[in-house]
Amino acid sequence: MASLANEIAGAGGQVIYASTDVRRREDLVALVGLAKERFGRLDVLISNAGVSPISPLDDLRVDEWDAIIDTNIRGLLYGIAAALPLFRTQQTGHFVNVASTAAHRIVPNMAVYAAAKSAVRAISEGLRQEAGDRLRVTVISPGFIKTDLASSINDRALREQIEQGMQKIAISPDAIAQTIAFAISQPAEVDVGEVIVRPTAQS
């Protein structure tokens, strides 16, 4: 994080960062508070943290199911709980929540992960409907992206399968960053609801 912060500062940007575990509600409260303290406001909260220890349900990896739920669902909700009151006070704010193409196409071994990402979409849509005309909510659903997400998969065969798929067709994380920047850059009255971003080679 420090190297990225230095890069941003070196390019003339203003930056501050804090180590944050989205599974801890107090960490999200502190992060939002830090933004308000340093910059006087919070314009956008991007919820991107996620884990994907996929496995067949028959393996009964309940601890891994818990990890998916705690990070991918609770982490999202904790971020909303931390930022929503501030957004209401400001009368402006933008939630950008990262789901997955797994929420659109269910495949074997990904039931719990897909359920969590489907929850991201459902929560985001409910939030959008409750947000009124001052707040914006965007869902970004990436497909195969060049990340280290597969490192959380403990099933060796499945991890190798996902890694091979990434090596063959995954696209740069820049595609997601540019999509988020597009959604944020729209006029205040324009709400980009959801964008699916995936490799052209992905089925």
Positive/negative CA dihedral, 144, 148, 153, 158:
positive
* Backbone dihedral angles phi then psi of residue 21, each to the nearest 5 degrees: -105, 110
The CA-CA-CA angle for residues 172, 79, 139, to 5°, reads: 45
Whether 17 sits among the annotated catalytic residues: the reply is: no
Q: Which two tokens stand for residue 45?
A: 């909260």
Of 65, 95, 113, 144, which one is the catalytic site residue?
Answer: 113
Q: Which two tokens stand for residue 193?
A: 């609801």
Nearest-Å Rg of the Cα atoms of the chain is 17
Only one residue has tokens 């969590």, namely: 116
For 28, other C-beta atoms within 10 Å of its C-beta total 24
Q: Which two tokens stand for residue 181?
A: 């920047």
The residue type of 154 is N
**Active site (catalytic) residues:** 113
